[in-house]
Structure 1
Amino acid sequence: MAQAGDTPLLFTNVDGSRMPVVTNICASRELVALGLGCDESEIMERIAAAGDSQAEVPRAEATGYREVEATLEGLPILTHQKFDGGPYIASAIAAAFDDTHGLNLSYHRGMKLDDRRMVLRILPRNLDAYRERGLTEFAFCNGVSVPVLLGAATSFGIDVSEMGIANALGTSPLVEVGGHTVPQSELVMVCEFTGEMADEGPFLDLTETPDIVRSQPVVKLKRLFLRDDSIFHALLPGGPEHKVLMGMPREPTIFHAISQITDCVDVHITPGGSSWLHAIVAIRPRDDGDGRKAIEAAFAGHSSLKHVWVVNDDIDIRDRDMVEWAFATRFQGDRDTVTFQSKGSSLDPSAWVETRETCKLGFDCTIPSDRDAANFVRTPPAMDLKLEDYLD
């Protein structure tokens, strides 16, 4: 899987598995655009618009499902690294219902303890809040559509419907399986919290370094539903699909935050920053100080962000050379740096482990407002010629 890069793979003969395995279906922007039926340049705008105006969620009949013995044996639950704490399901979505907040979708990795139990990594967000409000049972879904994969990866707030976002991106019906309302899935695992805690990890995370071992909640598999032709979606930890699904949906949240204070043009969560810790932002400044304000807003829009570069909209933020050029020619360290201590990402191995405290840095690489902007523009070639017209 690692050697394939961002190439989709289908494994049809997996030792010990009752079903085929597919991976890398969202391993690049090109593949995501294909799944959404849009151009790569439209992805962030589509997700941002979906967060603003969620669509109605249609219902469909759950056809083709059959209940089988509730066991994890025979599922392609993979061990990815020699140091893994155990075999992992790294690509499943918890579909949980709360009377007040409704249906929530969220990703959680699950480490297999035995044929009936897993320990889940649960951050203090929506599913944890549902547990605090009395949730005991949920559906763990694997093998959903691209719109649902992206919708579940967004973080707009507990009252924003991930399925509403998914349906603004593409039609994605809900079905009833095993007494739970779920997106159409290749397999549905009905799980209950046991009240136990167990060590979860180590696990290779986005930074391609091992995440620490934590005591996390244990769940027990109660019921298992498969389709007649189920295909298991496997995700390689730290691989391109992991990074796309984690990082790309943070671009619209940063975009939303910055748009409250200035004209935000584009946002790019960079692969070199593990698709989580670094962002480059293009703005069209309206007032003095908008570059610094955009830095502060970017950190508010993505709390795990560690470093951010803000440039003018004449810079292609996906061209590393152009961004570095703006950094070199428009930035002064004593004037244009924003730095402060704050809680960062648990995925950053350089942060303080117990508190997640980290130093955050922002770089205002916009054209200084007190200088003549003409002096900061790249000069184009003096003549526009086609070399082949002058060669034999």
Structure 2
Amino acid sequence: MSIAEMVHSVLDGPLTLGLRAYDGSSTGPPDSPRALHLRTPRAAAYLATAPGQLGLVRAYVAGDLDVDGVHPGDPYDLLVDLSAVRFRRPTAAAAVEAARTLGVKGLAPPPPPPQEALPRWRRAAEGLRHSMPRDAGAVSRHYDVSNRFYELVLGPSMTYTCACYPDAAATLEDAQDNKYRLALDKLGLRAGDRLLDIGCGWGGMVRAAARRGIHTLGVTLSGAQAAWAQQALAEEGLAGLAEVRHSDYRAVRESGFDAVSSIGLTEHVGVRGYPAYFAWIGDRLRPGGLLLNHSITRPHNRRQETGPFIDRYVFPDGELTGSGRIIAQAQDAGLEVLHEENLREHYALTLAQWCRNLVEHWDECVAEVGEGTARVWGLYMAGSRLGFERNEIQLHQVLAQRPHPDGATRLPLRPWWRP
């Protein structure tokens, strides 16, 4: 049995792109603009021992699987093709023939690429899920890759969260500036006010607030992010107004803030941690203080762990749910929800631009972090773009307030910000 025949034995329907294998066999539409190239026997072993998403990812990240007609910095078109492919279990006879073809060595799982984290069930030694030590390790794994790599991919704003596009023709930098403008306007902050930004990343929100004269404290679990942000604050002459700490947000003891912003942190908290998360935020706000919670969500309100690729290569321990559950948990913690909106399509535009940046700076990115890691990020960002476009994931901003004791909001009757 050839490798191409093995692939056909697990397909449920036609192959929508080409395939070439190291044994010389091929299949799929001969005129397809894209084709999978299984370069080595290890590629076949990855696919055979981890059928489905994980095997494909391992072979691709390790470089044993290439794709003709697709740049690894933006494999979006490949993922569109693969989304139309359906698989089935092989018959007993086909499985026996495949085993003969691969041999004993080909049926032994090869070591995964070094970019792969342990499966969830083997992470107990790192602490309980969403404990401070385990969260610190997960965040470091993702964000401490290389500040230079992120500069190349994210652009000058160094903002790794969804932008807000005033129109589809806006540049990424304009859209990120507009996102921070929108967040600060929703929070109604003025010069002299105090803002706590949890999960602050490289300090984009911190710097935007400090430029308005707002006293801002940002916290991040990434040491590399904190160092970069502190340097950026110093270079802009903002160090007297703002601080970024290398810290878990739960270690912040200050309170009485006029506002709390959480932009891209909730995804790391864990759904079961929402009650404590929102209660903690409420305790940090003064009466009448506002929270802006900006996070990736599902289009349903069930708790759902991320798939094997995201969990092992991108965000270990990640889980998502819907905006309804986030709103309910904020309300149960005593916060009054004032407004919410979905920026799903904006995130698809953001991710498309990040992929373009990765393609443009591919050689430098590979020199900085290695080709395997660069492939992971291209795959992750292109796949996420497709998920946002197809409404498999969303991005919601929720605005809430810690109520005054008398129940008054002391806010305008209608939204006070420009969309």
Point out the structure with the larger strand share: 1
- Shared fold by TM > 0.5? no
Bin for the TM-score computed over the shorter chain? under 0.3
The TM-score with structure 2 as length reference comes to: 0.23
